Structure 1
């Protein structure tokens, strides 16, 4: 499906625009293969395993084992990861990702993979993520400045995704898998 999208884009885009689209689709495929299985319920994961898909090793690659429904299910994760730069991608990826995902949604609709309503929802979501990117960049810079001299509870850095659970002038409370860091 994603290869079909790229083939159709190659036919009418300038080489530079096509390269941008191909790079974003490559990052989408990587995101699907790494995180896509996490979008599944335990029952769906079991169904995939029963059909020969190894959800632990990603064999075959997840993006080759799923159709439009699971691609659509993963797009919010991909756009958020791109926006937060969780992907080891170029810094311009967040802006490019929204543009390409909007075009992909239109193509999926014209090919009959998704409904017009689903395509509109994806385009709206991609536009909303693009509007939030500058605010997210500012927040990331402020958090980085605030945490430069932070001493963690353990010797090593604390990796992970955190949710801000409480804010006071003297501290910021973050939550990560049951561990609270002040």
Structure 2
């Protein structure tokens, strides 16, 4: 199973990147860090700088067909920057169009809203995104993890870092179903 993790160059919530990343590795999968710029991404612990992580591929050059699933980590600044990058938004939209599963946590659904893929979906997020999701045609629920199988693909969402164990379990189960023997 090969999983794309999409982040902006700065602002990803570190635990929302590293915890799912390690879950993919522990399950025998291969995570790949995609970003809108080469080099390294700067992670944060809320508002404080944390570690940096090397970028594996530029989102504008990545081939969706080589991935079994997409994880969108949160952090406030991360999805806000991604939703302003046309290549990142197109990558997310194309992932949905290809029928591949997507997992998003915390503020990451902002990128989904920008990609116009929440209409008719039920999802959760950090509570401050509730109105944005509803305005984009989605139904917002306050649940630890929400798996929405309506539409061409499965969408897995969670609210915050405390939900990571349930989030990881849910997205790994779904990604594993579609990965084949990759």
Which structure's relative contact order is higher, taking Cα pairs within 8 Å and 6+ residues apart? 2
More helix by share: 1
Which structure has the larger Rg?
Answer: 1
